[in-house]
Structure 1
């Protein structure tokens, strides 16, 4: 079955461009478009897309609030579209439940791959963009370490894996750094997500910073 995508952006030209790129790739169907957050959230509720490509800066209801509504209704996984260098709201969108983010000038092939990755159940956490994001917004997350029960449940190895996830490392890179098989790393990642009660890698990073498990400047570099 084709991956169902909803486009939410207040620029018609961008929506048309994204539609052309996605539908030309095969296996992806754009099931709707919206030009503001409120309409986008309602369209997601009605159409139940697999992935929502969401702009942030829009009208009365911005992409952050629209993302929050979509996630609360379990009406699709949201990938935020951002110019990044001008956008002060990316982290807020992730906290609202977005499954990842893309730069608006991303290559067509990367846009298609992002949709497929998120539709497949993973989160879009590109290392280069993640590190830039955390450098810019991480100081706002300098929370004191908490005694959250979930923290206590993590093993030392799982904490190490979580720090590497926060550094934007892929499963393969984590396996190489820790001298483990990729299958073992996947098991650790699954355990981390389950114990933290989060649904994907992006939300695990948000959780780690908010609970002081990882701090700005300590992004799992080895």
Structure 2
């Protein structure tokens, strides 16, 4: 079995040691390297080409959110899971906006961390349940003010309709039924939306739909 290589970035040596123990205890995972700040993490990722990076949000030299954004630009095929002691909503939101594929808090168990790592390696996006609930409360029933996004101007009227329904949580099959389209056609629209808006998954599409005001809480 091929092992997936993980890069660990945290400014606390004890935390790095603990995460190394969790990862290296698995037959399908291995730690390729460690970093104690964001700049080193980016340099290590370039040198080691890990399959996944575990990144603390609050780091010296270059914070973990900024480092995540750098990695998304320089190594777009390398997913990042932000694992932090701070579960404030703005950190989770900033991490997702920067391109992180996961957001966990450090009170997660070893089993939960491993489930998240494997999920992200499969292409999923994983968010700590408590944080996910608050984000839903804020952006579905809350008061986040819409922020104009000129990228929406790149979409056709039909693509905007599809994005709105994605933002409302409908599946491709449900969107097809609502708009009287074939499911394959909806998949094509979703793919074009992701390309035009430079978003990687449905979670980021939902966030953009609410953030831009295309979908309004309770609407």
TM-score (norm 2): 0.77
SS in structure 1 at match of 2:135: helix
Aligned to 2:166: 161
The CA deviation at 1:90 is: 2.8
Q: CA shift at 1:154, angstroms?
A: 2.8
1:19-30 matches, within 5 Å, as: 19-30=20-31
Q: Judging changes above 3 Å, is the alpha-carbon distance between structure 1 residues 163 and 26 closer, same or farther for their aligned structure 2 residues?
A: farther
The alpha-carbon distance between structure 1 residues 121 and 185, as it changes in their structure 2 partners (threshold 3 A), is farther
String of CA shifts for 1:67-115, please: whole Å, max 9, x gaps.
1111111251111112344574332222111112011111211111111
CA distance in 1, matches of 2:149, 2:46: 37
Partner of 1:200: 201
* Unpaired stretches in structure 2, ≥5 consecutive residues: none
Between structure 1 and structure 2, the one with the greater Rg is 2
Residue in 1 aligned with 2:9? 8
2:154 maps to which residue? 149
SS at the partner of 1:164? coil
Residue matched to 1:32: 33
Distance verdict in 2 for CA 1:83–1:189, change over 3 Å: farther
SS of the residue aligned with 1:92? helix
Provide structure 1 residue ranges, at least 5 long, that are not aligned to the other structure. 166-173
TM-score by length of 1: 0.76
* Residues 26 and 104 (structure 1), Cα distance of their counterparts in 2 relative to 1, 3 Å cut: same
Contact 2:163 2:205 in 1 (8 A): no
- Aligned Cα root-mean-square deviation (Å): 3.3
Give me the whole-angstrom Cα distance separating, in 2, the residues matched to 1:187 and 1:116: 31
How many matched pairs? Answer: 207
Name the residue aligned to 1:90: 92
Deviation at 1:210, TM superposition (A): 3.0
